[in-house]
Amino acid sequence: MMMRLVRALSHTAAGIWLGGLVVLAIVAPTTFSVMRETGVDQPNAIAGQVMAKNFLRFDLVQLICGIVLLGGLLMLLAIGPRRMRDWLRIAAAGAAVLLMLCSTMVMTPQILNLQPLLAEPDADAAVRAAFEAFHSTAVRVSQALLLLLLLINLEMAFAPLQGTPHVGGTS
């Protein structure tokens, strides 16, 4: 019973985390597009502020999901059989947590520090270039995290329950 509960919590955390990233990937370009159509001054700066708030709020969700996912997988490893796929799943979840921490503790603060400078009417090319570099890297980190979480979710969904036979033999 305990294994099923821990597995269900791990699945739920992985699903919420992945779903949140997908939502943000949809909301971000929509926010910038809509702001550009409103006719306000500096629509990108305003849209950037809106998205920064969204990302900051989602950071707590990511942190909780990462702790629940990785903690749950480690608990399953401690109380159940230790198969290679379990170790690989933990390694993937650990990599996802590291990517999330890189994003939330390194990339996002740098972007937030540059945003006010970018909003100034006379922002120089060096500030714009620095912002673009950090933003581009942050997008790539988020894309890698999204892909990793997709793979983790799929692997967990298709993994046989521990102690139950799977197609082609026993677990």
State pLDDT tens for residues 33-65.
Answer: 999 999 888 888 889 889 988 999 999 999 999
pLDDT of residue 93: 96
- As a whole number, the mean pLDDT across the chain is 88
Share of the chain above pLDDT 70, in %: 94
Tokens standing for 160? Answer: 């046989």
What pTM did the predictor assign? 0.85
**For residues 99 and 148, is the Cβ–Cβ distance under 8 A?**
yes
With b meaning 16 or more CB within 10 Å and e meaning fewer, what string describes 81-106? eeeeebeebbebbeebbebbebbbee
Does 171 have pLDDT greater than 70?
A: no
Does 108 have pLDDT greater than 60?
A: yes
Q: 94-103, 123-132, 142-151 — which is least confidently predicted?
A: 123-132
